[in-house]
Chain A
Amino acid sequence: MKAVIFGTTTLAAAAAIGLYVWQSQPTTLCGDTAVAGSAIGGPFELVSETGETVTDADVITKPTLVYFGYTFCPDVCPLDSARNAQAAYMLADQGIDIGTVFISIDPQRDTTQVVGEFTDNFHEDMIGLTGTPEQVKAASEAYKTYYRAVEGDPEYYLVDHSTQTYLMFPETGFKTFFRRDTTAEQIAETTACFIDELS
């Protein structure tokens, strides 16, 4: 009942991405996980830290790192969010302005206030989004991410979830994704490369 599943197993979710990469066009100059196309991403409608309904067009106004997680997660999500924030700071030092977005896949516990305070911890401009279970599910499906709340504990339940970070551009959409073992330096470098390529 709480479980929201895209695909049927974790492997299905991972396979969806793997297959997508495999089927896509030759790699670009900017790294070997780079794929061209628009199958990942697309329109979403979520709720911002201030409670407004926002769309992908409102949120992705510049090259943006998009991550799906939940704030009840004490180590993985903060670690990945801190790394994405760090990549943004590194690029800012080079005069490159990118956005960072954290989309909660735990809308039941992650209120707008909770995601707002969570993201402020990492970067003053990181955007925290949540929404209704339906809005979150739709956004997750658009990005081909997986999440599933473990049942049985109404208050302290844990949520399995994908950990890749997407590099999205306004208009042209998905550029590449980063696995969680990618460093902030690598993310900054690859992101700068895609920005270069398009300018």
Chain B
Amino acid sequence: MKRTTLAAMALFTLSATSAFAESVISITDAKAFETAPSALAGGGFMQITNTGTTDDRLVSVEADFPRVEIHTTEFTDGVARMMHIDGIDVPAGETVTLEPGALHVMFMGLQGDPLEEGETVPATLIFEQAGEVPVVFNIVKRDMAAHNH
């Protein structure tokens, strides 16, 4: 079923940013933070804007890791609960932000190949309407404000 969707959406793939697509998705500030050498997971963050006229939904993310999922983190009385979710709605005319402590793309199974500053993570975002949207996550150092140690 996913394959069919992909095929059907193939037309939209190349035109995802052109004006005649119903859902027009653009991605800004796609980034992931560098991880420790032995880290098993990393997070991907970005802003997804739908400038089209149809609501859309990010349903999966593909990248070269053993597992990639869409996650959110909720807080209840100081307890953080990170969980796998089915997708992220991106209504027409709106921007959704994936940011630390909330929605994120979870890259899992980094074993031995950490995210390193200056490298990139190429990925494909799959939307219900816009189809495949390529994105490149830039790996950046964590902002330590005044202290870059």
Enumerate chain A interface residues (CB-CB to B < 8 A): 10-11, 13-15, 17-18, 71-76, 78-79, 82, 85-86, 89-90, 109, 111, 113-114, 117-118, 120-124, 146, 150, 155-156, 158, 160-164, 179-180, 184
Contacts and interface: CB of A to CB of B under 8 A. Distances in A.
A-B pairs, 6 with minimum CB distance: A14-B77, A74-B43, A117-B36, A75-B100, A10-B79, A89-B147
B104 A75 contact: yes
B24 interface: no
Given A114-B40, A117-B38, 18 more contacts: A74-B42, A75-B101, A76-B100, A85-B147, A86-B144, A86-B147, A89-B144, A109-B40, A114-B36, A117-B37, A118-B36, A121-B35, A121-B36, A124-B149, A156-B67, A156-B108, A158-B82, A180-B78
Contacts of A73: 41, 80, 82
Contacts of B34: 121
B79 A161 contact: yes
B80 A120 contact: no
Contact of B39 (A14, A15, A118): A118
B121 to A, nearest CB: 12
Contacts of B134: none
Classify chain B's interface size.
35 or more
A73 B82 CA distance: 8
Interface string B13-43: 0000000000000000000011111111111
B138 to A, nearest CB: 16
Interface in B40-88: 40-43, 45, 67, 73, 75-84
Contacts of B147: 85-86, 89
B105 to A, nearest CB: 9
A13 B79 contact: yes
A43 B39 CA distance: 29
Nearest to B42: A74
Contacts of A109: 40
Contact of B82 (A76, A78, A184): A76
A78 B33 contact: yes
Given A82-B144, A121-B142, A156-B109, A10 B38 contact: no
B38 A79 contact: no
Contacts of A156: 41, 67, 108-109
Given A71-B36, A76-B73, A121-B142, A10 B104 contact: no
B139 interface: no
B1 interface: no
15 contacts: A10-B79, A13-B77, A18-B77, A72-B41, A73-B82, A74-B104, A74-B106, A86-B146, A89-B147, A114-B39, A114-B40, A121-B142, A124-B149, A156-B41, A180-B78
Nearest to A74: B43
A162 B107 CA distance: 23
A79 B101 contact: yes
A11 B76 CA distance: 8
Contacts of B42: 74
